[in-house]
Amino acid sequence: MSAPGGPRHENPAGAVDAAHAAWYTVAHTVVHPSEPGWRDQLAARLGQRPRRIGPWAELALHGARRCLDLAGEPTLPAGACLRVASLSAASGATQACIDQCRSGLPMPFSFMQSQPSQLLAALSQHLAWRGDASFTVGRDPAAVRRLAETEAGPQGLLLGWVEEGEDARSEWWRLMPA
Amino acid sequence: MTAPADARLPRMRDVYLAGTGLACALGLDLPASVDALRRGGVRPMPLSVAEGHAWPVYTLPAAPTATPWLDRARDVIQRVALESGALATARTGPLFVASSSHDVGHREQATHFGGDVLEFADRIALWLDWSGPVYAVSTACTSSMNALLSAAALLRQGEADDALVLGVELGNRLTVAGFGAMQLLAPESAEPCGAERKGLVLGEAVAALHLSSTPARWRLAGGANVVDGRDPAGAVADAVEAMCRAALAQSGLRPSDVGLVKPQVSGSPANDAVEVEALRRVFSPLPPMVSFKASIGHALGAAGAAEIALLLACLEAGDGAWPQTDYPMDEALQVVLSPHAPRPLRHLLTSIIGFGGGHTAVVLEDGEGITA
């Protein structure tokens, strides 16, 4: 993994894989918001535009969907784990809320979008999946992955690192125990 | 929807709650909190967030809010971590900081908006002189419950011998204003399962759970986290049921083995009813139930850890320290909040439901309960 603030590798997925030999990568994908038309691609893939979620969650959804498509899975198996990490999280929405608070009450959807957990709800909804999902982040991306593997069962793990801002990207791994 | 499943806690090493700490509206430590509860509790204080918009909040009896936010946070967090006993360890195990608001209060006060999600957790590690790995968990109201499950998974697999879970929700305008804007707050008081419940009342809290592989009175028997996005802001009955069943399965227990349930019920007109209906699908009849939301408010990401710490302290005190219901209950729900701690008690289930479709439960076993 190559999150801002964490170790960087030329081949991040491979470098992390070497430290987690008991797991293998079924699919790995990185998407950037600079890619033209990604929102249209996501809407076409989902059959509708995501509603009531912020740009951070939308970018995450795009990466997760693409990763599962790469893995050949229409959705996650029931017993799989979903883990999302981010150092920025939805900082844009949080800043907007604080600004709105200075002149009154924040907009309800802005407030909801400031919570990383809204992404988990959006993923659950769009994947028609119910299961163990969490937002947990640490400075060491390998430790974040190690923790996620520790919690995951035989159905494996969908792990995402999603950042907004200068180094915006949505990087996802579909991982299975060997 | 696919079927629910969860296997967060594979049966390996046992994990125990070696110590707890709590600062909440009732007091700045557990003895003070239990004593305040014994004396009838405290009332929430009105907090104005904008002209014409004020809501009650259960605030800490700590330094006044004029104190720099970070100074107040440091004092309370150090105190609570010390009470849990975790600072007597090598401080090299994992530290989980669970919160929905992190240090937003500081950012509001400082008109500063920099750093990242981990900045506050890293700062706490420095305050506690903690050298182990630091994680921030942010799943809204279920944050500290998920942190507890994650920490327990590491201990069960032998990745660490001790861990500290901190649930932290400290004063800020954004959270109160946000919940107010969503029309989720009660104008006066929280009345879980009450006939005239009008919403939730927020509360400040810092709670510490010191987990250890060394045997102690309370064993973490199992737990489950089920996210169901069909209602991003409320309880989903199927998910509540799935959460309970998965937590019981993880614990190797039947519903009839559970002697006490501490549900989410926060006073929400809709969610309390959904949750109770779902609990009734699992437990028949319902075991005795208890709620602390009318005593300390809803402490959001800290709620899970705070309510566990207070519940165990009440059970251990065993001298009438127990929340009392002083409002009429909703007869349609057919729920009674137990007026005293059930005895004997071996297993209890405690759960939190939150924003983002999160439904999380843990089952605790009292090693002394069999003889109580």
Question: In angstroms, how far is the first alpha carbon of chain A from the final one?
Answer: 19
B10 interface with A at CB cutoff 8 Å: yes
Tokens linked to B304: 């899970």
Return the number of CB contacts < 8 Å for A and B. 199
Q: What is the pLDDT of residue B324?
A: 95
B15 interface with A at CB cutoff 8 Å: no
Strands in chain B per DSSP E: 16-23, 45-50, 53-58, 95-98, 134-137, 162-169, 202-203, 205-212, 218-227, 258-262, 347-354, 358-366
Q: What is the pLDDT of residue B33?
A: 98
B-chain residue closest to A82, CA distance: B227
pLDDT digits (tens, 9 = 90+) for B31-60: 999 999 999 999 999 999 888 889 999 999
Q: Do A87 and B118 touch (CB under 8 A)?
A: yes
Residues 42-101 of B with CB under 8 A from A: 49-51, 53, 100
Mean pLDDT of B202-230: 97
**Spatial contact of B328 and B194, defined as CB atoms under 8 Å apart:** yes
| Range of A39-48, B112-121, B129-138 with top mean pLDDT | B129-138
Confidence check: pLDDT of B309 > 50: yes
Q: What is residue A119's three-state secondary structure?
A: helix
- Rounded CA gap, B134 and A20, in Å? 20
Q: What is the pLDDT of residue B112?
A: 64
Contacting residues of B for A144, CB less than 8 Å apart: 135
pLDDT digits (tens, 9 = 90+) for B6-23: 445 545 899 999 999 999
Confidence check: pLDDT of B370 > 60: no
- Rounded CA gap, B91 and B68, in Å? 27
A64 interface with B at CB cutoff 8 Å: no
Cα dist from B84 to A122, B79, B88, B218, B314, whole Å: 36, 9, 9, 14, 16
Q: Do B154 and A147 touch (CB under 8 A)?
A: yes
- Rounded CA gap, A29 and A41, in Å? 15
Q: Do B150 and A136 touch (CB under 8 A)?
A: yes
Smallest CA-to-CA distance from B96 within B156, B49, B139, B39 is with B139
Confidence check: pLDDT of A11 > 80: no
Task: Give me the residue from B133, B182, B242 closest to A138, CB to CB.
Answer: B133
Q: What is the pLDDT of residue A103?
A: 79
Q: What is the pLDDT of residue B64?
A: 65
DSSP string, B143-154: HHHHHHHHHHHH
Comparing A156-160, B91-95, B317-321, the range with the smallest average pLDDT is B317-321
Contacting residues of A for B139, CB less than 8 Å apart: 116-117, 120, 133-135
- Rounded CA gap, B282 and B285, in Å? 9
Task: Give me the residue from A5, A101, A137 closest to B135, CB to CB.
Answer: A137
Q: Do A125 and B229 touch (CB under 8 A)?
A: yes
Give the pLDDT band of residue A16 (cuts 50, 70, 90).
very low
A49 CB-contact burial (10 Å; exposed 0-12 / middle 13-18 / buried 19+) = exposed
Q: Do B138 and A116 touch (CB under 8 A)?
A: yes
Residues 283-342 of B with CB under 8 A from A: none
Higher model confidence: residue A19 or residue A169?
A169
- Rounded CA gap, A114 and A92, in Å? 8
Q: What is the pLDDT of residue A20?
A: 59
Contacting residues of B for A104, CB less than 8 Å apart: 50-51, 53
Q: How many CB atoms lie within 10 A of CB B219?
A: 18
Q: What is the pLDDT of residue A51?
A: 86
Q: Do A112 and B355 touch (CB under 8 A)?
A: yes
Domain A8-88+116-177 CATH assignment equals 3.40.47.10: yes
**Spatial contact of A124 and A84, defined as CB atoms under 8 Å apart:** no
Q: What is the pLDDT of residue B233?
A: 81
B12 interface with A at CB cutoff 8 Å: no
A13 interface with B at CB cutoff 8 Å: no
Q: What is the per-residue burial (b if ≥16 Cβ within 10 Å, else e) of B262-287?
A: bbbbbbbeebbbbbbebbbebbeebb
Contacting residues of A for B116, CB less than 8 Å apart: 4-5, 87-88, 91
Task: Give me the residue from B5, B146, B232 closest to A79, CB to CB.
Answer: B5
pLDDT digits (tens, 9 = 90+) for A47-104: 999 988 999 999 999 999 999 999 999 999 999 999 999 999 998 888 888 888 887 8
DSSP string, B14-71: --EEEEEEEEBTTBSSHHHHHHHHHTT----EEEEEETTEEEEEE--SSS-TTS-HHH
pLDDT digits (tens, 9 = 90+) for B155-209: 999 999 999 999 999 999 999 999 999 999 999 999 999 999 999 999 999 999 9
pLDDT digits (tens, 9 = 90+) for A21-37: 699 999 999 999 999 99
Q: What is the per-residue burial (b if ≥16 Cβ within 10 Å, else e) of B23-50?
A: bbbbbbbbeebbebbbeebbebeebebb
B3 interface with A at CB cutoff 8 Å: yes
Give the pLDDT band of residue B371 (cuts 50, 70, 90).
very low
Confidence check: pLDDT of B146 > 90: yes
- Rounded CA gap, A99 and A109, in Å? 14
Alpha helix ranges (H) inside A36-105: 38-46, 55-71, 91-102
Model pTM? 0.94
Q: Do B355 and A117 touch (CB under 8 A)?
A: yes
Q: What is the pLDDT of residue A167?
A: 87
A19 interface with B at CB cutoff 8 Å: no
Domains of chain B: 16-212 (3.40.47.10), 218-367 (3.40.47.10)
B97 CB-contact burial (10 Å; exposed 0-12 / middle 13-18 / buried 19+) = buried
Q: Show me where the domains of chain A are located.
A: 8-88+116-177
Interface test with B, best of A110, A144, A151 (most B CBs within 10 A): A151
Q: Do A97 and B227 touch (CB under 8 A)?
A: no
A10 CB-contact burial (10 Å; exposed 0-12 / middle 13-18 / buried 19+) = exposed
Q: What is the pLDDT of residue A105?
A: 83
Mean pLDDT of B321-329: 96
Q: Do B116 and A87 touch (CB under 8 A)?
A: yes
B61 CB-contact burial (10 Å; exposed 0-12 / middle 13-18 / buried 19+) = middle
Confidence check: pLDDT of B322 > 90: yes
Residues 83-122 of A with CB under 8 A from B: 86-89, 91, 94-95, 97-98, 101, 103-108, 111-112, 114-122
- Rounded CA gap, B356 and B340, in Å? 33
Q: What is the pLDDT of residue A12?
A: 39
Q: What's the mean per-residue pLDDT of chain B?
A: 93
Interface test with A, best of B104, B113, B135 (most A CBs within 10 A): B135
Q: What is the distance in angstroms between the Cα of B314 and the nearest Cα belonging to chain A?
A: 30
Mean pLDDT of A114-129: 95
